Structure 1
């Protein structure tokens, strides 16, 4: 699926062409030009001899000229008719960034729609459909690679917490253990440990040594506002804190403050960490396509039981990684949108336990990839 000359324009609008000036693999890519009109997407088709895609994930390398001009990117898999499985490649197009190659992996949990009754056992047509955003202008996107990956043997759930609140210790830990969920991951901020409302040094040690939690890295500064020197200072501060207190495994994993990142953040972070966790919402693939942009199931006061049940069902059926991220867990909500009541959190954990899915910390999962 790598020869750009094998693709044909299947839409009335837009254009495609091989491009030897930028590529992710090999020596050329497929350049797709949009119309700027969301009602006139650009589509490119690739004919296949009949490939069994029943039990696989999809692996794409994409580059956007300006992600703000893109409304959505859809991957359609089908046969000689219009029956197809339609996957949402980039639910949050910001993950594409602009002007750089981005790896995006997709599983069946990203299904946007199913047209008719497509047979995944014999896919003879692949279509990449690029839909312009509202009020956009013509722009370009490049496809540098498209392939398939095998699915994992089982779906996996992670329960993570940001900011190091003492509710991780006092409430979440207790409720998780009540439902047989052994441990989670707490992403802590070095200069907030021991402050009122945050876990103490002793509590962090107990979480790891007694209860098996992983203590990982976080910060409170918007990293996208910093230059490289300041970025390195932020990373070195939390790494030194965690390593100095014996949290070697967790020190390799960082949660991006407010989920914000740019190319400088991603480049510098690779010198310090094995993974970066975003707040981009999607079922993550196993193995993750980009460990420096881990996607999550972000939970707050707005999260419903139905959403949790659906996410866990997808995790089990499509064998993906449902990474549930929380902040404060309080008996009574303080009104912050990220705060989840203890009663709701316990309901969510019961569903996790009832699902039978294995629950692992972030370092455990990343070590196995």
Structure 2
């Protein structure tokens, strides 16, 4: 039909199918419950109180500013195609294991499916010599039921007794690394190595005795609670962080809009021209003890910080995204991104409240919703290695919407966030520089008092010690968004 004018307050129906038009629609005023089936034009202002959708999908107000990083592997060890040569040992259920499974795969035409009954292995030996100098190992797996997996570890060396070991744990206090039924990509580098065995060792600063000449790889699975099915799809060797950042790289990130971040952290960071990423809870901006809009603009415009997103409402921040439906999460993120844009903030990064990134109450992927509005998602996973070492983030990150960060930085008690441990020889700053990693350090409240705490409080003295140490090590400090821009 032809274009129809529909004026605000006009009670008439515009055709015999109700308020659905199959032709064009010109609005000179307002209207309600109108669906346009063809093309049209709006000559006046149009306000939508609810959601604006296209083809059944709610439209974002703004979109991420850049695509996620990706780097081609320098060497493909295996994609587990026909003739791959891997074999099982230990606690494996042979009748249900299929090393050439053509029914469930992500690349090529098959993957290796192994059903573990306890501690079991998937090995290959006799490989052409692998040089891991300045490299990292990236692998892709899927666990059918993550509740049955305790650890999935990788060993690289020359035999079952001579190798280096990396540990990856199935879960942390807040979120799982391996989620049921999901193809997961994991990258481990020398900054994360857990230990050595036989002829291979780590020195007092955790520097490996060798980084080349490897001919053996083992995946070790520690299963719990019955048979654990793991699908293996690829093993690749890629450049590690040092290919882009020869001295490693640190990001200093701040959550929850506390005003002490402006009053106490900013002056110290200004001393070295260090820039932070500050994740906002919009409803708390301007409240007592919280950052104000003028302070946020000063952080961005004068000190170069990235002002990024954490939550729009206090309720969703405090209850976590996992307590809400997909529509509620989408509305939250759309409003958050719109607020950043409306206030002239250019941050393109997001931090999950509580680090929880799994699913909404109606089963939607929170990571996928976040990807509509932001270019990365940061967790509070303090690493997925053993308790004695932190697995830092690699670059490029294998999961840009599940970026690892070390949280709870203080010197109040034991733990991975001890400032004294971070700055010591062989600590996270040392290994970041020597062996290559992207170390993301998360802060909340700073205090001028004599003690911090485990609830995210750090003294200014300890914060200053940490910042001075980063400068001493010569590690560059960059915002999360700036690191993400460096991919090739």
TM range (shorter): over 0.9
Once the two structures are superposed, what CA deviation does each residue of 1:31-65 show, in whole Å capped at 9, x if it has no partner?
12121x4xxx1101113122222331011111111
Question: Which range is displaced more, 202-211 or 5-14?
Answer: 5-14
Q: Higher mean Cα deviation, 334-343 or 139-148? A: 334-343
Aligned equivalent of 1:109, options 171, 191, 201? 191
Counterpart in the other structure of 2:471: 353
State how 1:83-98 maps to structure 2 within 5 Å: 83-90=162-169, 92=171, 94-98=176-180
One of 206, 213, 235 as aligned partner of 2:298: 206
1:192 aligns with 2:293: no
Asked whether 1:237 is paired with 2:335, we answer yes
Q: Is the 8 A contact 1:253 1:275 kept in 2?
A: yes
CA contact (8 A) 1:256 1:277 kept: yes
Per the normalisation by structure 2, the TM-score is: 0.71
Q: Alpha-carbon deviation of 1:280?
A: 0.9
Provide structure 1 residue ranges, at least 5 long, that are not aligned to the other structure.
none
CA distance in structure 1 between the aligned counterparts of 2:233 and 2:239, rounded to whole angstroms:
20
Cα distance in 2, alignment partners of residues 356 and 91 from structure 1: 34
* Greater Cα offset, 283-292 or 295-304: 295-304
Equivalents in 1 of 2:152, 2:249: separation in Å?
26
1:261 maps to 357
**1:61 aligned onto 2:140:** yes
Residues 1:324 and 2:425 aligned together:
no
SS in 2 for 1:258: helix
**Match for residue 171 of structure 1?**
264
Indicate the residue corresponding to 1:130 in structure 2.
221
| Equivalent residue, structure 2, for 1:289 | 398
Q: Which has the larger radius of gyration?
A: 2
Moved more, 236-245 or 120-129: 120-129
Q: Contact 2:156 / 2:218 at 8 angstroms: preserved in 1?
A: yes
Do 2:250 and 2:438's aligned partners in 1 also have CA atoms closer than 8 Å? yes
**CA distance in 2: counterparts of 1:139 and 1:91, whole angstroms:** 12
Counterpart-to-counterpart distance in 2, 1:3 and 1:81: 20
SS at match of 1:363: helix
Size of the alignment, in residue pairs?
Answer: 360
Provide the C-alpha distance between the structure 1 equivalents of 2:122 and 2:454, rounded to a whole number of angstroms: 45
In the alignment, is the contact (CA less than 8 A) between 1:78 and 1:120 conserved in 2? no
Matches within 5 A, 1:308-323: 308-309=422-423, 310-323=427-440
Q: Structure 1, residues 75-119: CA drift from partner, whole Å, max 9, x if none?
A: 111114621011123474711111111111111122121002245
Find the counterpart in structure 1 of residue 79 from structure 2. Answer: 2
1:246 aligns with 2:354: no
- 2:421 matched residue in structure 1: 307
Give per-residue Cα distances to partners, 1:1-41, cap 9 Å, x unaligned: 12255210132544442322221211211112121x4xxx1
Query: Could you tell me how far apart the structure 2 residues matched to 1:329 and 1:62 are?
Result: 40
TM-superposed CA distance for 1:217, in Å, is 0.3
Cα 1:232–1:81 change in 2 (3 A) is: closer
Give SS of 2:374's match: coil
Q: Decide whether the 8 Å contact of 1:14 with 1:42 is kept in 2.
A: no
Checking the alignment, whether the CA contact within 8 Å between 1:160 and 1:326 is kept in structure 2 is: yes
Aligned partners of 1:67 and 1:97 also within 8 Å: yes
TM-score by length of 1: 0.92
In the alignment, what sits opposite 2:481?
Answer: 363
Measured in 2, the distance between the counterparts of 1:55 and 1:10 equals: 31
Alignment partner of 2:116 out of 19, 29, 34 = 34
